Amino acid sequence: MTDSTDAPLSVLVVDDNADAADSLAQIISLHGHTPRIARTGRDALRLAAERPPDVAILDLLLPDLDGWAVAQHLNAGGRPPVLAAVTGCDDRAGRNLSTGAGIRFHFVKPVDPGVILDLLNWAVRTKRSAGLGGTPPE
């Protein structure tokens, strides 16, 4: 759960697998944050345009725009979110594409929920101290 003095994060979950997206959104919600779900890249961009997220958790292999293209669009906005990939892509090429698209965190499925919660806790601290553009923890 987030500290009561912290505003909850707006978290955009983008995954075409309904079970994966719904499970992740439920974990995020149970820890005090506000998830929204998109099943396609285009839906993700529409939701982000309506209300920019603090954090976007992206599947990379989507049926229309891939997660890397979504990340590039989100990074082009005025206040880019913290971007994390949760994907089955575990090769060097995929990781390089993530880095090039501005995806700061690249997690391979299945991801332990504790890893996602650590990411969100880091994002809360970063948001509190300097906005969501800070340096990742070492």
Q: What is the mean pLDDT of residues 97-119?
A: 95
Q: Would you state the pLDDT for residue 130? A: 56
Does 107 fall in a domain? yes
Flag whether pLDDT at 133 surpasses 70.
Answer: no
For residues 36-47, give the mean pLDDT: 98
Q: Is residue 3 part of a domain?
A: no
Domain containing residue 54: CATH number: 3.40.50.2300
Q: Does position 54 have pLDDT exceeding 90, yes or no?
A: yes
Residue 45: which domain range? 10-130
Sign of the Cα torsion 134, 72, 18, 92 reads: negative
Q: Does residue 136 form part of some domain? A: no
How much is the pLDDT for 134? 43
Residue by residue, what is the 3-state secondary structure of the chain?
A: CCCCCCCCCEEEEECCCHHHHHHHHHHHHHCCCEEEEECCHHHHHHHHHHCCCCEEEECCCCCCCCHHHHHHHHHCCCCCCEEEEEECCCCHHHHHHHHHCCCCEEEECCCCHHHHHHHHHHHHHHHHHHCCCCCCCC
Is residue 1, in this structure, part of any structural domain at all? no
Give the chain's domain count.
1
Residue 137 lies in a domain: no
Mean pLDDT score of the chain: 90
pTM above 0.85, yes or no: yes
Residue 5 inside a domain? The answer is no
